[in-house]
Amino acid sequence: MKEENNGTPKNKWSRIFRKKWFFPAVYLTIAALLLSVVVWYQNLDNQIQETEDDQSSETYTPAEHDEDAQSVMDQQEVIKMPVVNQDQAEIVTKFYDYNAEQEEQENALVMFNNRFYQSTGIDIASADGETFDVLASLSGTVTEVREDPLLGNVVALSHENDVVTYYASLQGVNVKSGDKVQQGEVLGKAGENMFGQESGTHVHFEIRKDGNEVNPESFFNQPLSALDEAATEDEGTESEATEEESVESDGTEESTEDSGAGAEDASTQNSQNSNVEGGNTTDDTSDSSSSEDDA
C-alpha cells in the first residue's frame, strides 16, 4: 500500500510534464517575471536620478543667491570718520541742524569777523590738540584740490550715487585732482585756518548728497545706501512743506482779493458821497445866485 501511495504523486507530475501547454506556460511565466524585474529596476533608477537632480538644484540655487548677496555687500562701503583713531578724535564744531535743540545749534555756530555762521559740516580735532592724518572716508575720485585763504587746503572726493565728501583746513595735501583713492588712504594733515580759528588744529569734514549738506554724524558706520534713504525722506518732507505753503499762499491771495474788493467798494462809496455833497453845494450856490439877482 505504501509503494502504491508513493507512486501516485510521481505519476501525476509526469502526466503534467507531458501536457503540451506545460512548458510554454513555464516559459511565459519566467518571461513575465523577468520583464517585471527589468521594468521595476528601470523605474527605480529613474526615481533615484530625479531625486539626485532635485537635490543638486536645491543646493545650487541658494549658493547662487549667496554669491550675489556677498558681492552686493562687498560693494557697499561703510562711511567712516576721516581719522585713524576715532577714540582720540573730538568733534569740536557740530553740523547746524534746524531741528536740533538750542544747545546743539549754538555748538554748530562759527564766529568769524564778529559774525556767526551756521556750520555746514563738522570740525574734528585731536584730544591732545596735535595734528593728525586725515583719511578718505570713502573710496572715490579726487575732483578738487585748492588752497583757500580762509579755509586752508581743500580736497573734495566724488563717490557713487551723487555723494561728495569735502575736507578743509588741511595743513598739507598728499593727492591731486583726478587721483583714485581708496577708503582709509591718507589725504593730508590736519591744520588751522582763518575761518575756524577757535577750533585750533582740526579738519573740517562735510558730506553732500545731490549737492545738499547732510549731518556726517548721522551716517558714520552706515552704508552708502543710507544717504539715498535719507534723501528720499527729505524729498517727501519738502513736498509736504511745499503743499502746505501753497495752501497758505492760496488763502493769503483770497484774503488779499477780498480786502482789495472791500477797498474798491469803499473808494467807490466815498466818491459817490463826494459827488452827492458836491451836487448839493452846486444847488446851494445856484439858489444863492438866483436870490442875488432877484435882489
Residue 109 falls inside a structural domain: yes
Residue 158 falls inside a structural domain: yes
Residue 95 falls inside a structural domain: yes
pLDDT tens digits, residue range 208-225? 999 999 999 999 999 988
Q: How many domains does the chain have?
A: 1
Residue 150 falls inside a structural domain: yes
* Arithmetic mean of pLDDT, 2-26: 66
CB 135 within 8 A of CB 187: yes
Residue 216 falls inside a structural domain: yes
Residue 244 falls inside a structural domain: no
pLDDT tens digits, residue range 88-125? 999 999 999 999 999 999 999 999 999 999 999 999 99
Residue 152 falls inside a structural domain: yes
pTM of the predicted model as reported, rounded to 2 decimal places: 0.58
**Domain that residue 94 falls in:** 86-236
Residue 98 falls inside a structural domain: yes
CATH number of the domain encompassing residue 172 = 2.70.70.10
